[in-house]
C-alpha cells in the first residue's frame, strides 16, 4: 500500500489549502479529514465552482446560509463574491459543519446528511422515522443523493486519515 500513497495523494486525494483546513478544523473542533472530505466531494478543491442550485466555492455554501453564518461569526465584510476566497469559504463551511455536529450530538452521518439535504429535512426524518442520536443506517436516508453523499464523504474521510496522518 505504501508505494501507492504518492499516486493517491497526487491524483485522487489531493489536499490543497491544507493549512487553512487545519486552522479552522482546530478552531471549530471538526476533524480536519472530515472537512477535507467534504471539500473533495463538494468541489474537488476547485474554488470557483458554482452548483446548479447556487452553492458557491470550495465547500459549496448557499448564499443565504453564508450570509447567516457571517452574521453568526460577526463577519461584517461578507459578500457573495467573497465566498470564492478559500479562507472565508473554508472558515464558513467548517464552522457550519461544527454547528451541525453539535446539533446532531456528534453524529457525523446526520451532520453530513444535513450539510447536503438541509438541517430541516434531517430534523423531519428524525421525527418521522424515530431516529435516535446514534443513528447510523445510511440506507435509511430517504434521498438517494444524500445517501450517496454521506457514504462518499465518510469513505473519503477515512482515506484522508490514512494518507495524511496528523
Q: Could you list the active site residues?
A: 42
Q: How many helices (H) and strands (E) does the chain have?
A: 8, 0
What are 120's three cell numbers?
A: 430541516
Helix crossing, 119-129 with 108-117: angle to 10°? 130
The residues pairing with 61 across neighbouring beta strands, listed in sequence order, are 56
Question: Hey, is 49 helix, strand or coil?
Answer: coil
Kindly report the backbone phi and psi dihedral angles of residue 47, in degrees, each rounded to the nearest multiple of 5, phi listed first. Answer: -70, -25
Are 56 and 86 contacting, i.e. CB atoms less than 8 angstroms apart? no
Cα gap 160→19, rounded to integer Å: 14
Q: Is 160 exposed, middle or buried (0-12, 13-18, 19+ CB in 10 A)?
A: buried
Amino acid at each position: 500500500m505504501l508505494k501507492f500513497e504518492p499516486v493517491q495523494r497526487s491524483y485522487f486525494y489531493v489536499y490543497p489549502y491544507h493549512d487553512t483546513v487545519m486552522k479552522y478544523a482546530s478552531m471549530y473542533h471538526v476533524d480536519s479529514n472530515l472537512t477535507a472530505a467534504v471539500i473533495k466531494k463538494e468541489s474537488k478543491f476547485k474554488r470557483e465552482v458554482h452548483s446548479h442550485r447556487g452553492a458557491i466555492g470550495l465547500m459549496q455554501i448557499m448564499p443565504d446560509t453564508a450570509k447567516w453564518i457571517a452574521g453568526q461569526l460577526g463577519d461584517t465584510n461578507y459578500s457573495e463574491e467573497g465566498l470564492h476566497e478559500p479562507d472565508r469559504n473554508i472558515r464558513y463551511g467548517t464552522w457550519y459543519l461544527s454547528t451541525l455536529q453539535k446539533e446532531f450530538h456528534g453524529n457525523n452521518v446526520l451532520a453530513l446528511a444535513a450539510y447536503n439535504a438541509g438541517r430541516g429535512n434531517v430534523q423531519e426524518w428524525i421525527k418521522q422515522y424515530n431516529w435516535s442520536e446514534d443513528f447510523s443506517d445510511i440506507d435509511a436516508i430517504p434521498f438517494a443523493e444524500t445517501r450517496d453523499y454521506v457514504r462518499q464523504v465518510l469513505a473519503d474521510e477515512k482515506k484522508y486519515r490514512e494518507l495524511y496522518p496528523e
